[in-house]
Amino acid sequence: MTNLFIQVENSLPINHPAYESNLVDAFGSVPANWEPFIRVERPTVTLYQIIDSEDPVYTQVAGGWTDVWALREMSAEEKAAKQQAVKDAWAISNQAANWVAWLFDEATNAFVPPIPRPATGNYRWSGADNNWREAPSMPETGGPYKFDFTQWVWVAGMKVAKKPKVCKAVEAVVAQAQLSVAHHFPTPIYLVERPDFLETVSAVSDEYLAVTRKAQTLNELYPVVMSGSYFGDERMKTFSEFVGMTAWNILADQGYTMQDKAVSFMEMWSQEHHKHSAMDQHVHGYGSQIVGFYFLETPDDCSRLVIHDPRAGKVQIDLPEQDMNAASPASKMINFTPKPGLMVFMNAWLAHSFTRHAAETPIKFVHFNLSVIAAPQAAMPEVEVI
């Protein structure tokens, strides 16, 4: 069952939607105060549109509740500011004088040539001719080279700025200075080996996967089997308690106020990836705080778990890495080799994926998501009135 429901109190939604299967596992059926919910994915924003909030508003509609996104058209001022930023950058670009004939296209928020570029050939725009002109190929030896649009040739060598003169006292201070490095905003990934859970978890996992196999045919493009959720299965109690306790401790150790909060499972299910299967890069939203994996079967040449750099600013302006095999602050992603009994925890905002599975036998693992809720309050004892 993949239907969603959301808790409603006094005509207002509480927390986040939950899968029908989770509610049935927890309560035996969907409680009366949970109403149907229709998930609407985040809309694609066009050039002159804005989403004012990264989170949707849960709104009541006919037949239940749904996501409503704050998507709107840019105001005239916002649109003009976006266009002006492109124009300003264009005006100060190298060889700006060569591009004076290009026209600003409001529809694409970019400058375009007045004459389309020829479909074939090595053409560059010649400002002197106000037309496309076939350019010589860059020499393969020597260099580095820079193309001179006025002479229409490649010029070897680049000017190096002269070192500014400083007084000897300043030079001495600079020479003796030692940089201290402050590491902030870290991206922790937690690993622990718990082979003691393998026997029980594997048995439960195989049972739930078998149910899915009977109900569906393996897809040729995405050969993966995913079970239903089973965190409420009584046989998983010890495993679920360990995962829940660890998730709570991680958030508390990271500095979050957890004294009055508890963690709650959103999902726990098995994945069985067959040859050529993979998992695209993604994050878990909708209230998830901690996500994790527990690996059951990992044949040779199986998929690797890949964790992607969450620093959006770095991704936008990234430079090539010196050594892609080394983990460094320049790394774009980090990968882990799965092994049976390995458990991995991370914050839900951390994007992850799996490489393509190359083994003949499938890789099997448990995937789980946990959210944070207000801790249940202990019942107050009744007071006898005398």
Percent of the chain with pLDDT over 90: 48
**86 and 221 share one domain:** no
Domain extent, residue 28, equals 4-73
**339 and 254 share one domain:** yes
pLDDT at 341 over 80: yes
Residue 258: inside a domain: yes
Helix (H) or strand (E) segment spanning residue 293: strand 288-297
Nearest to 309 by CA among 337, 254, 350: 350
- Which stretch of 207-211, 253-257, 317-321 has the lowest confidence by average pLDDT? 317-321
| String of DSSP letters for 59-107 | EEETTEEEEE--EEEPPHHHHHHHHHHHHHHHHTSTTGGGGTT-EEETT
**83 and 66 share one domain:** no
pLDDT at 385 over 50: no
Please, which residues bridge with residue 72 across strands? Answer: 50
Q: What is the pLDDT of residues 129-184, one digit of tens each?
A: 889 999 888 887 776 777 777 788 888 754 444 555 656 666 665 556 566 778 78
Q: How many residues does the chain have?
A: 386
**65 and 210 share one domain:** no
**243 and 283 share one domain:** yes
**117 and 201 share one domain:** no
**67 and 84 share one domain:** no
Question: Tokens representing 183?
Answer: 């590491």
**287 and 245 share one domain:** yes
User: What does DSSP assign to residue 121?
Assistant: S
Residue 267: inside a domain: yes
**269 and 354 share one domain:** yes
Provide the pLDDT for residue 379. 45
Residue 254: inside a domain: yes
Residue 386: inside a domain: no
**334 and 292 share one domain:** yes
Higher pLDDT, 345 or 147: 345
Residue with tokens 């083994």: 359
Number of separate domains in the chain: 3
**102 and 248 share one domain:** no
Residue 184: inside a domain: no
pLDDT at 383 over 60: no
**DSSP E strand boundaries for 118-202:** 123-126, 131-134, 145-148, 153-156, 190-193
**351 and 234 share one domain:** yes
Residue 285: inside a domain: yes
Residues 162 and 214: their CA atoms lie apart, in Å, by 73
Provide the pLDDT for residue 15. 83
Residue where a domain terminates, one of 136, 156, 176: 156
Residue where a domain terminates, one of 40, 73, 106: 73
